[in-house]
Amino acid sequence: MEKRCWRLQEVLQKLGKADETKDEQFEQVVINFRRQESEGSRLQREMKAYMSAIKGMQQASINLTESLHEVYEPDWHGKDDVLTIGKDCDALWEDFHNKLVDSTLLNLDAYLQQFPDLKTRVAKRSRKLIDYDSARHHMETMQTSGMKNDRKMMKAEEELKKAQKVFDELNTGLQEELPTLWDRRVGFYISTFKSVTSLEAKFHREISLVKLYEVMTKLGEQHSDKIFTIQGAPSDSGPLRLARTPSPPEDESPPDSPDLSTNHMLRPISPGPPRPKSPTQVSVSPHVDENMPIPSVVIEPASSNEGDDDRDADIISPTAISDNGVTTENQNIKHISPSGGASGLPDDFLYKVETMHDFEAANSDELDLKRGDVVLVVPTASAEDQDAGWLTGIKESDWLTFGAGAQKGLFPENFTQHLE
């Protein structure tokens, strides 16, 4: 019966037939409370999903290590170490999960346990406010009608005072607790996620100390003649090779230099693309008169008993120009022959290129090049790399030093210029 009367009073208030007490400030507090509860519930849900993902990663790590141990041959280095490493990783995952549960999930549960009781009290306050408005409206109606029945008037006053007392007790408590709870959410979020990130950092730091990488490295040294390379796969030295060659830097503008013709004569700069000055080229002083004839350079063949390397020859310039602009006679300049002779080049040699821009190798099958390096180009094994603009070659300096043992590797064609 009381519930029906309460609902009737609520309907009358909505229809404007009875007075309704409005508290807009408290209504905003209730809106914030409901938002805070919703956000906390979502945070709890996502944290539980995160915990489940950690358990999934833990199981996946165990399965992966067990599969590696199963394919290990008895004579391979580190067979027992692999199993031990797997157990260590599993223990780290388990410790990470348990600490997250203790420091975040349990705190989240305690945080959300505040909301059901407050939610009940907010709903009760709404009902008691309607009771208070009903008693007040009844009292005002009796006073307006001029009723002289003192006993009914006293009863109406008692009911009004009682309803007001119950409402005030609920209202006062909620007016203090709800804003305080709303303000505390910031500190709770800070402490929660600081704990999460701290535990994550500790976990990754500890799991990085697991020595599986070292075991695999020693296994590779044990079977260095059986290394299997997947073209385009990640390597220790860097990321995957790009499907297309990288673009050379645009801000490099190599200084102009005289071009070295095939008959070893210095000639004026051609209108073709400029390239960096090679260390083997003769530089002309900027103080030389422009009308002065360009000196010729004659190559004198080296004798067969001069040094160990028959690829070097002395260039004798009868009219070389010094730094102060004065011509000198018989100035000797060391020069490395571009061809080097048929016997001094790789069997599958195609042509030479000069590096126009620095290139840093991103994979173990690529060359590190500096601007000015000369590369001996040989056929590229992979048609896919060749179509993507990659060449295969050997640095000329490495070939002269190590011969057939020099490193062969890939490099982008658009970082180089063809040498005739």
CATH of the domain at 356: 2.30.30.40
Q: Is it the case that residue 6 has pLDDT exceeding 50?
A: no
Same domain, 214 and 355: no
Q: Whole-prediction pTM value? A: 0.48
Q: Is it the case that residue 335 has pLDDT exceeding 70?
A: no
Q: Output the DSSP codes for 269-337.
A: PPSS---PPPTTSPPPPTTS-TTSPPPP-EEEPPPTTSSS-TTEEEEEETTEE-TTS-EESSEEEEEE-
Q: Which of 190, 223, 256 is the last residue of a domain?
A: 223
Q: How many domains does the chain have?
A: 2
Residues whose CB falls within 8 Å of the CB of residue 130, separated by 6 or more in sequence, listed in order: 6, 9, 10, 13
CATH of the domain at 108: 1.20.1270.60
Averaged pLDDT for residues 141-158: 80
**Among 257, 278, 282, 276, which Cα is nearest to 415's?**
276
Across 7-16, 62-71, 281-290, which has the greatest mean pLDDT? 62-71
List 298's β-bridge partners, or say none.
Answer: 316
311, part of any domain:
no
264, part of any domain:
no
341, part of any domain:
no
326, part of any domain:
no
342, part of any domain:
no
42, part of any domain:
yes
Give me the domain span that covers residue 127.
21-223
**Among 153, 121, 123, which Cα is nearest to 10's?**
123
Cβ neighbours, 10 Å, residue 36: 20
Specify the range with the lowest mean pLDDT, choosing from 18-22, 35-39, 226-230, 256-260: 256-260
- Which tens digit of pLDDT belongs to each residue from 303-332? 444 444 444 444 434 444 444 444 444 444
Cβ neighbours, 10 Å, residue 138: 18
Q: Which of 223, 241, 273 is the last residue of a domain?
A: 223
293, part of any domain:
no
Averaged pLDDT for residues 108-132: 91
Q: Which of 177, 203, 223 is the last residue of a domain?
A: 223
Query: Could you tell me the pLDDT band of residue 11, with boundaries at 50, 70 and 90?
Result: low
Q: Is it the case that residue 18 has pLDDT exceeding 60?
A: no
Higher pLDDT, 49 or 279: 49
Q: Are 333 and 320 in contact (CB under 8 A)?
A: yes
The answer to whether the Cα torsion of 326, 331, 335, 338 is positive or negative is positive
- Decide: helix, strand or coil at residue 369: strand
129, part of any domain:
yes
**Among 231, 180, 158, 199, which Cα is nearest to 388's?**
231
- Which tens digit of pLDDT belongs to each residue from 33-65? 999 999 999 999 999 999 999 999 999 999 999
